[in-house]
Amino acid sequence: MNLLIELVAFAVAIGVLVVVHEYGHYSVARLCGVKVLRFSIGFGKPLAQWVSKKTGTEWTVSALPLGGYVKMLDERETGEPIDEADLPHAFNRQPVGKRIAIVAAGPLANFLLAIVLFAVVYATGVSEPAPIVAAPPSHSAAAQAGFQGGETIVAVGSATGSDTEQVRSWSDLRWKLLAAAFDDDSRVVLSARDGDGTYDFPLDLSQLSSKDLDDDFMSRLGLEAGGGTLRVAGVEPGSAAQQAGLAAGDRLRSIDGRPVDSASAFIAYVKGHAGKPVRIEVERGSNGDVVPLTIVPAAQRDPDTGEQVGRIGAALATQVPSVDVRYGPLESVRLGAQRSWDIAAYSVRMFGRMLTGDASLRNLSGPVTIADYAGKSARLGPSAFLSFLALVSISLGVLNLLPIPVLDGGHLLYYLVEAVTGKAVSDRWQLILQRAGLACIVALSAIALFNDLARLIHF
């Protein structure tokens, strides 16, 4: 059933994104007076097609649904003479400004779709984890900033205090900290409510590496959503947890006298106490009876560091408070545009970091990963799926604007050179660059497919 949901969600996502992208090219081409011969969803053998009596455009659905294209009348691509009456409507006969507009319309349509989708999500409302901080691990940046757990973050500001932004949810906080890290801000100030007052917590971001930004940088800072409950989801037979009497459904209250509401903090503490007894208090049963337990974590080799770490053999589940984030129509559109811009800027920076070696190529994803996340977001509900669709739409727009021949960005580069020099790029150079661009696309596709397989079979 999950596989069916993933396939359907993937097909819907790719179908919508391709149609919007290609319709951007098509609509601007028509506005510029260019004759469109074919509008195809997919590649290869046509499965269904019809011809518009009004425009003469052939609309096609083809067998390979991983893209699409708009074929325009062009003297360079036809082997037959073009009627004299149609020559003014050929793409290659258009001024360079119109050609730039037609090519840029596809990616711009993807960005516009993302703005609309985010605006719909913001206007209809979405439930997200509240920006409440869990008790951070000792010596983490969050602990050094003064967080003890239970504080509600309400704003993020620069170290100088000149720029402050409101925080409405945990994901909102994550995006603002990610943007600050990419802007190379070494320190930000988090304003948080603690009890009856609001206090400032200076958070050091300088310890974050490029690898941290590729992975879970929030945990690296010691920040995890809190304010909820930490329960035992399952216990492995014969494990230290089972021998100590820990059971599924127990609510963890404290470890060695320290309150816990963070899975990562609990796991980190257990890892540091291999072979040493730790005292745990849990609430059990409908009456919430407090049961003290003593567990001796088993020593186990960490595959990443090679060090001996503690492990009790229990699966944990965290339930955190949520907030309903909802905005008015105009504010939703503004925030949709802002979020789209932030994601697009982040994507460009990530591509740049991958080119310079500052970010891992593991960040590239292919159709398998997209299908997986499409299915997961669809199961979470309409808001999650629309947000996922907006994210992929932005990624598609950014990817197509890269100055790689065979992509829209490569064609834009040709036309910009023509606009500046007054001369078109020669056919010889276009052929050479097309081959180089195709090699780049094949290499990127191979890396993305490898990453998909690596995530799938965990190697």
Residue 26 lies in a domain: no
The last residue of one of the domains, among 221, 250, 282, is 221
CA 214 to chain centre: 11
Q: Which residues pair with 290 in a beta bridge?
A: 283
Span 331-377, pLDDT tens digits: 999 989 988 998 898 888 888 777 777 666 676 777 767 777 777 77
- Please tell me the distance from the alpha carbon of residue 417 to that of residue 33, in angstroms, as a whole number: 23
Shared-domain flag, residues 286 and 304:
yes
pLDDT at position 446 is: 82
Residue 320 lies in a domain: no
The last residue of one of the domains, among 262, 294, 312, is 312
Residue 9 lies in a domain: no
In the set 22, 128, 151, 224, the catalytic residue is: 22
Shared-domain flag, residues 203 and 261:
no
Shared-domain flag, residues 246 and 202:
no
Shared-domain flag, residues 166 and 210:
yes
Residue 385 lies in a domain: no
Shared-domain flag, residues 260 and 280:
yes
CATH number for position 275? 2.30.42.10
What global pTM score does this model have?
Answer: 0.77
Annotation marks residue 151 as catalytic: no
Q: In 3-state terms, what secondary structure has residue 434?
A: helix
Span 124-176, pLDDT tens digits: 988 888 899 888 877 888 989 999 888 999 999 887 766 788 898 888 898 88
pLDDT at position 236 is: 92
The last residue of one of the domains, among 221, 248, 282, is 221
Axis crossing angle, helix 96-124 with helix 408-421, rounded to the nearest 10: 140
Shared-domain flag, residues 233 and 308:
yes
Number of H helices, E strands in the chain: 13, 16
Q: Per residue of the chain (459 residues), what is the pLDDT tens digit? A: 566 777 788 888 888 999 999 999 999 999 999 999 999 998 888 888 899 888 889 999 988 877 888 999 988 876 667 788 878 898 988 999 999 999 999 999 999 999 999 999 999 988 888 899 888 877 888 989 999 888 999 999 887 766 788 898 888 898 888 888 877 778 888 999 887 788 889 998 888 776 666 667 888 888 888 888 888 989 999 999 999 999 988 999 888 988 887 787 788 889 889 899 999 999 987 787 888 999 999 988 877 667 888 999 998 888 888 888 888 899 999 989 988 998 898 888 888 777 777 666 676 777 767 777 777 777 778 888 898 899 999 999 998 998 888 889 999 999 999 899 888 888 888 888 888 888 888 887 787 777 767 766 655
Shared-domain flag, residues 206 and 234:
no
Domain tally, the chain? 2
Q: What phi-psi label fits residue 406: left (phi over 0), alpha (psi between -120 and 50 degrees) or beta?
A: left
Residue 150 lies in a domain: yes
E-strand stretches of 4-57: 36-51
Residue 204 lies in a domain: yes
Q: Are 322 and 128 in contact (CB under 8 A)?
A: yes
Q: Are 69 and 22 in contact (CB under 8 A)?
A: yes
Shared-domain flag, residues 217 and 237:
no
* Sign of CA pseudo-dihedral 181, 183, 184, 189: negative
Shared-domain flag, residues 210 and 250:
no
E-strand stretches of 240-288: 251-255, 258-259, 278-284
Contact partners, residue 72, CB within 8 Å, separation at least 6: 29, 34, 35, 36, 37, 90, 91, 102
- Please tell me the distance from the alpha carbon of residue 116 to that of residue 329, in angstroms, as a whole number: 11
CATH number for position 155? 2.30.42
Alpha helix stretches (DSSP H) within 125-244 = 141-145, 170-182, 210-214, 217-221, 240-244
Cβ atoms within 10 Å, residue 51: 12
Residue 202 lies in a domain: yes
Burial class (CB in 10 A: 0-12, 13-18, 19+), 53: exposed
pLDDT at position 215 is: 67
Shared-domain flag, residues 187 and 238:
no
Both tokens of 103, joined, read 């090519």
Residue 399 lies in a domain: no
Expressed as residue numbers, the domain containing 252 is 229-312
